Every structure is written in C-alpha cells, then in structure tokens.
C-alpha cells in the first residue's frame, strides 16, 4: 500500500513543489515506486519534471472524464511517475464547492492505484481551499515545507488548525509527518533563529535534514529535470537525497538516520546530513 503524503503551506514560494519533485525523485532512486500528483492549477510540478500541461491530467480525473491510471505519465527518473495538472483544475475549485463530499474527490481518484506505489506525494496550491482540503483528506500524513523567515511562523498555526480540523472531521488517520525547512541561508541570524524556535516547539516533528538555498535547485525545473538529473553533486541535491533517506528511516523502510558510512548510528544529531554539510550554498 502506498504511503500518501501531502505537502501543504498556504504561502506560495516556500518550496512545496521543489520538495515534492526532488524528495520524490530520490525516493524513486532508493527503489520506491513513487507517484507525484500535481494538484495545483499552476502546474509547476508538471513542468518541473518535464511533463506537458496540455495533456489530460488530474482535472479530467476529478471531473470523471478519465481514470488516474490513464493520465499517469512516466518521468525521466526510473520508478517516478507523474499525474499532471493544468489551469483547468482552477475550474474544479468552483465546480466542487456545491458538491456533497467535495473534499473526497482526490481520495476516490487515488484509491484504485494505492497498491501500485510505495509513495504518493501530493503537491498543493498555496491556499487552504478545497484543493488543499482534498489533499489533506486523501493523505496519511502532511509535511509542511517552511521557509526560514519570520512570517513563516505566522502561517504555521493556521496550517495546524486546518490539519486538526481535518483530523477531527474528515480524515482521522491524518498525521503531521513533519516540518521541513527550505531555502535555509546559514549566513542570516534570522534563519537560525526560526529553525531554533520551531525545533524547540515541534521537537522530533522537525526533519533533521534542512534544505539550503541553492541556485541549482531553482535552475533544474526550467530544464524539466529533478535536481538528481541536473546536478547530482550540488548541495541541494545532496540535501534532498538525505531527506529521502530520513523519510525512509522514519517509515521503517530504510536504515536509521543519520547513518555513518560504516552503517552505525552517529550520536550527534545533525541539522544537515553529513555529506550535505560540505560545499557552499550555491555550489
Ligand atoms: N532550496 C532552494 N534554493 C533556491 N531556490 C529554491 C529552493 N527551493 C525552491 N526554490 C525556488 O523558489 C521558488 C519557489 O519554490 P516552489 O517549490 O515553487 O515553492 P511553492 O511550491 O511552495 O510555491 C521556485 O522558483 C524554486 O525554484
Ligand atoms: Mg508550488
């Protein structure tokens, strides 16, 4: 059975799509059959892995014109698949509002393929509207990408309120999988403070792997490639590789994290994976 993870933050530009693409790619490279579901009408995930938004996609699935399997596309990474989106999905927001059980569309769409994948990762638009609610209802867990800046904290409580509402009324199995820091710039004191504060509060709900600001991560989607196929040696690639290993360790699907080269556990918790701490911000 697939583990279904939804990536939610009502702020745009915090690294949701980048995280879905690159975490997904490294999960696939670790042998996990992974499906990326683009549930944002902006279709950044679709173009970011080289898919075309002109084809049939998730809108046709939720509106009953196609099955999920019919619209699923392979990507350039073996074991990584894409359900594309398009601007048509913004129409669904309006169409769904009046429907009974309007938050269950994505759950019903994904059900027939749950046995075909190890992971299903859902990318959501930057809002807590009907599309994101569909994502939260369909998921086993929610991961919150958080940009290391002051305003990030303000939005966090609203996300957690929404999650707890969904947990109470629509999806009792939903768990907060964790918070992943993105676009971390170690040169700013504020970034360090945000990490420190959020970690003090959320403790082990915070992923130890922190994704630094890295220009390669922002270049890769314009080539339609996950960073593993664009520049697998850059620090951004190494950090998403580490995040994938951390997710697998946490799910009991891989060795303990962080694992030292000999396979033994290191005693010191590290914010960056050991390999990722080498190299410069933009290298
Ligand atoms: N770690 C990072 N370092 C540098 N640029 C990044 C990083 N993560 C994301 N970006 C860039 O920031 C922008 C917003 O990221 P994106 O993943 O699209 O956010 P969201 O999906 O939350 O709107 C994109 O241009 C993306 O390429
Ligand atoms: Mg996005």
Question: Is the C-beta atom of 238 inside 6 A of ligand 1?
Answer: no
Question: Is the C-beta atom of 12 inside 6 A of ligand 1?
Answer: yes
Alpha carbon nearest to ligand 1 atom 3, residue: 213
Alpha carbon nearest to ligand 1 atom 14, residue: 13
Rounded Cα distance between 75 and 68, Å, is 16
Question: Is the C-beta atom of 3 inside 6 A of ligand 1?
Answer: no
> Do the bridges between strand 119-123 and strand 73-74 make them parallel or antiparallel, or are there none, so unpaired?
unpaired
Contact 58, 91 (CB under 8 A): no
Q: Report pLDDT digits (tens) over 136-183.
A: 999 999 999 999 887 777 889 899 999 999 999 999 999 999 999 999
Task: Name the least confident of 94-103, 169-178, 206-215.
Answer: 94-103
Count of residues making up the chain? 283
Rounded Cα distance between 134 and 102, Å, is 8
Rounded Cα distance between 113 and 201, Å, is 37
Q: Report pLDDT digits (tens) over 37-88.
A: 999 999 999 999 998 867 899 999 998 899 999 999 999 999 999 999 999 9
How many C-beta atoms surround the C-beta of residue 229 within 10 A? 18
How many C-beta atoms surround the C-beta of residue 201 within 10 A? 12
Question: Is the C-beta atom of 220 inside 6 A of ligand 1?
Answer: no
pLDDT at 150: 76
Question: Is the C-beta atom of 282 inside 6 A of ligand 1?
Answer: no
- Which secondary-structure segment (H or E) carries 82? strand 80-83
Which one-letter DSSP state was computed for residue 184? B
> Do the bridges between strand 73-74 and strand 80-83 make them parallel or antiparallel, or are there none, so unpaired?
antiparallel
Rounded Cα distance between 201 and 248, Å, is 24
Helix, strand, coil proportions of the chain in percent (round to 5)? 45, 15, 40
Domain 3-250 -> CATH class: alpha beta
The ranges assigned to domains in the chain are 3-250
- Of 152, 147, 67, nearest to 113 (Cα)? 67
State the pLDDT confidence band at 259, using cuts at 50, 70 and 90: low
């Amino acid at each position: 059975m697939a583990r279904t993870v939804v990536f939610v933050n009502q702020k745009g530009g915090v690294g949701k799509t980048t995280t879905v693409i690159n975490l997904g790619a490294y999960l696939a490279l670790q042998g996990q059959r992974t499906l990326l579901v683009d549930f944002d009408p902006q279709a950044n995930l679709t173009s970011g892995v080289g898919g075309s938004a002109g084809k049939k996609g998730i809108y046709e699935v939720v509106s009953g014109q196609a099955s999920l399997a019919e619209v699923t596309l392979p990507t350039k990474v073996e074991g990584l698949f894409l359900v594309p989106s398009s601007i048509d999905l913004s129409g669904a927001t309006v169409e769904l509002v009046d429907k009974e059980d309007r938050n269950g569309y994505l759950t019903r769409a994904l059900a027939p393929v749950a046995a075909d994948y190890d992971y299903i990762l859902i990318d959501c638009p930057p809002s807590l509207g009907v599309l994101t609610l569909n994502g939260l209802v369909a998921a086993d867990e929610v991961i919150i990408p958080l940009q290391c800046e002051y305003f990030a904290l303000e939005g966090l409580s609203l996300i957690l309120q929404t999650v707890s509402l969904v947990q109470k009324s629509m999806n009792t199995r939903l768990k907060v999988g964790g918070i992943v820091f993105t676009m971390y710039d170690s040169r700013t004191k504020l970034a360090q403070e945000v990490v420190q504060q959020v970690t003090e509060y959320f403790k082990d709900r915070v992923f130890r792997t922190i994704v630094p600001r890295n220009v390669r991560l922002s270049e890769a989607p314009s080539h339609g490639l996950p960073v593993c196929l664009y520049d697998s040696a850059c620090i951004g690639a190494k950090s998403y590789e580490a995040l994938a290993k951390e997710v697998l360790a946490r799910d009991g699907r891989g060795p303990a994290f962080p694992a030292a080269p000999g396979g033994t556990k290191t005693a010191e918790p590290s914010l960056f994976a050991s390999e990722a701490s080498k190299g410069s911000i933009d290298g």
